[in-house]
Chain A
């Protein structure tokens, strides 16, 4: 189709990852420009985000003063929005590591222009995620009880509990993601240091650049470290959402006690994470004028991953129902019938429409290559994946084994304000990130450009760049 013609790499013959024949210096300038000259639009977004962060501060202040009773929790539904939001945010966090680690191991070079922003998204999403179980615990000031610290009672945490595994999994995930992100940032911080016009900038970037000077003897260990981090982050990212799913699957509750949960949660996490990456990057590439670096081809690739993982999630929804019927267990069968046709039918069908039906539009190339369509569908994916966690958590709890304890759960204004506030925290951190750090991994993007190849020009392609 002539309408979808992309520039091709003269050596590999594949689609180029940096369009318009940019030179290395032009790539550096394009990425550094938004940091060096902030726009009015940035301020608008930042102020809105900070206002939402204020909503979080007020909500948490009232929560700490009054207790978790301000939320809509009731007797059967003791896990309300706090756990829904936790799983939602942790899931979003998974795309960053998938892009930086799994795609790295598969030598998917297109990852280089989206990995920095996705990893930042991961770290900020995990911060939001960690917030919810912390405040849901009721007494966040004694959260250190989850750690194996010697104490006067001589007691230790219960290492057989999935909730404790979660503490180790999510905090390890946060630490490793932060380290991975920082290692990737070191050469780019050096770039910012070397471009700095003011002493403050030079010292600030220089301090974190650790004196990086691009030495090949350093790159040798650096690339090894990057490969190893990718190698260990890959099983880590799979383990984290597996363990999050254990919070549910290891319990005895119908609707939760299923062996499909770990792979189903991991697929959903990747699906929602890529949704959020698109939500962030589609506007960002336009406003920061990075279309030549985050090309339409990059967006198209992400749309394909969303399509694949969306179908995996759809398969899991179907298989859950099949197994519930096939098991012959009346409690299991009731839990699923109640999910689709009970009190919360509207949540279930919102989830199915957003997660299973809306990504099907990505079968069409024109949709995959339309930033506007991608943005709209990515919002549906975000909504759908929030509803998925709501459906799993609430529908299984609100009608448990004993009909006398059944109840309908609805959130209060404080549930809503805390969720909005967590978006405020996320977007405030993301605004600060795009304001002060290169949103594209410069050194990595340069290394996948055709002119970076030491054999560039050997094939007589006739291109000469200065």
Chain B
């Protein structure tokens, strides 16, 4: 691909044709000490996050907080409306019939947990992000079909066009290209 030299380069992208190849390649890039890089796959390749040396997701903490907020506010709402704001005796039950308030408490806890899981995941992933430099590559469109990619970004402190390309070539890549920013 020929392009004017003054264009800013986002990174070097290597393409692989099997899950096994990218797994081995990720281990090599990780061991070479790169920080600002990522791999791209059509499906979650088992343990590829470990091959890349990624830390586990903190999403669970977010969901726990959301779920507890949902459950607590549901119980609080039912307690306040039936004992403080408008107490009515219904079916000879106490004003604060907490046993009967469990279903709504449970459902709202679940609802807010689900919001936390989905919107927390999108937030951690910084999605939606409709533009990304990799979308400039024609070949990258196969990432959602059957190809696997690694991209090492130029702003990584260890990035060097010669050495990084050499490293990627040594990982069994079937194609390597520069990605415009």
Interface residues of B in 115-134 (CB under 8 A from A): 115, 117-118, 120-122, 124-125, 127-132, 134
Contacts A169-B103, A454-B47 given; does A216 touch B40 at CB 8 Å: yes
Q: Which residues of B contact A (CB under 8 A)?
A: 17-20, 23, 26, 38-49, 51-52, 54, 56-57, 59-60, 63, 67, 77-78, 81-82, 85-86, 90-91, 93, 97, 100-101, 103-104, 106-108, 110-111, 113-115, 117-118, 120-122, 124-125, 127-132, 134-135, 140-146
Interface string of A127-167 (1 = CB under 8 A from B): 00000000000000000000010000011101110101100
A448 to B39, CA, bound (A): 19
Contacts A169-B103, A217-B54, A239-B107 given; does A211 touch B127 at CB 8 Å: yes
A28 to B141, CA, bound (A): 13
Q: In the complex, what residue of chain B is closest to A175 when comparing beta carbons?
A: B111
Q: Are A165 and B23 in contact (CB under 8 A)?
A: no
Q: Are B46 and A215 in contact (CB under 8 A)?
A: no
Q: Are B111 and A172 in contact (CB under 8 A)?
A: yes
Partner among B40, B54, B86 whose Cβ is within 8 Å of the Cβ of A155: B86
CB neighbours of A23 from chain B (8 A): 146
Q: Are B107 and A221 in contact (CB under 8 A)?
A: no
Q: Are B118 and A216 in contact (CB under 8 A)?
A: no
A423 to B141, CA, bound (A): 39
Q: Are A206 and B121 in contact (CB under 8 A)?
A: no
Q: Which of A34-42, A82-90, A183-191, A366-374 contacts B (4 or more CB under 8 A)?
A: A183-191
Instruction: Among A155, A194, A217, A228, find the residue whose CB has the most chain B CB atoms closer than 10 A.
Output: A228
Interface residues of A in 433-466 (CB under 8 A from B): 442-444, 446-447, 451-458, 466
Residue A168 CB within 8 A of the other chain: yes
Main secondary structure of the interface of A (DSSP, over half): helix
Q: Are A169 and B101 in contact (CB under 8 A)?
A: no
A34 to B146, CA, bound (A): 19
6 sample A-B contacts, Cβ–Cβ < 8 Å, listed by A number: A215-B125, A216-B48, A223-B44, A236-B110, A452-B45, A454-B23
B88 CB → nearest A CB, Å: 8
A303 CB → nearest B CB, Å: 28
Partner among B78, B111, B113, B130 whose Cβ is within 8 Å of the Cβ of A206: B130
CB neighbours of A216 from chain B (8 A): 26, 38-41, 44-45, 48-49, 52, 54
Interface string of A206-229 (1 = CB under 8 A from B): 110011111111111111110011
Q: Are B40 and A215 in contact (CB under 8 A)?
A: yes
Q: Are B78 and A451 in contact (CB under 8 A)?
A: no
Partner among A156, A232, A447, A454 whose Cβ is within 8 Å of the Cβ of B20: A454
Q: Are A179 and B41 in contact (CB under 8 A)?
A: no
Q: In the complex, what residue of chain A is closest to B64 when comparing beta carbons?
A: A228
Q: Are B86 and A229 in contact (CB under 8 A)?
A: no
A456 to B20, CA, bound (A): 7
Number of A-B residue pairs with CB-CB distance less than 8 Å in the complex they form = 209
Q: In the complex, what residue of chain A is closest to B124 when comparing beta carbons?
A: A221
CB neighbours of A239 from chain B (8 A): 103, 106-107, 110
CB neighbours of B101 from chain A (8 A): 159-160
CB neighbours of B54 from chain A (8 A): 216-217, 220
CB neighbours of A158 from chain B (8 A): 90
Residue A200 CB within 8 A of the other chain: no
Residue A25 CB within 8 A of the other chain: yes
Q: In the complex, what residue of chain B is closest to A452 when comparing beta carbons?
A: B19
Contacts A156-B86, A229-B117, A236-B110 given; does A221 touch B141 at CB 8 Å: no
Contacts A223-B44, A243-B103, A453-B19 given; does A211 touch B38 at CB 8 Å: no
Contacts A148-B81, A159-B81 given; does A214 touch B42 at CB 8 Å: yes
CB neighbours of B67 from chain A (8 A): 232
Q: Are A218 and B127 in contact (CB under 8 A)?
A: yes
B12 CB → nearest A CB, Å: 16
Interface string of A333-350 (1 = CB under 8 A from B): 000000000000000000
Q: Are B41 and A219 in contact (CB under 8 A)?
A: yes
Q: Are A228 and B63 in contact (CB under 8 A)?
A: yes
Interface string of A21-49 (1 = CB under 8 A from B): 00111001000000000000000000000
Q: Are B20 and A168 in contact (CB under 8 A)?
A: no
A225 to B134, CA, bound (A): 25
CB neighbours of B128 from chain A (8 A): 210-211
A280 CB → nearest B CB, Å: 25
Residue A297 CB within 8 A of the other chain: no
A288 CB → nearest B CB, Å: 19
Contacts A160-B93, A451-B19, A454-B45 given; does A194 touch B146 at CB 8 Å: no
Q: Are B145 and A191 in contact (CB under 8 A)?
A: yes
CB neighbours of A232 from chain B (8 A): 63, 67, 110, 113-114, 117
CB neighbours of A172 from chain B (8 A): 107-108, 110-111
B60 CB → nearest A CB, Å: 7
Q: In the complex, what residue of chain A is closest to B106 when comparing beta carbons?
A: A239
CB neighbours of B18 from chain A (8 A): 451, 456
A229 to B112, CA, bound (A): 11
Residue A296 CB within 8 A of the other chain: no
Q: Are B146 and A210 in contact (CB under 8 A)?
A: no
Q: Are A214 and B41 in contact (CB under 8 A)?
A: yes
Residue A257 CB within 8 A of the other chain: no
CB neighbours of B40 from chain A (8 A): 213-216
Q: Are A148 and B19 in contact (CB under 8 A)?
A: no
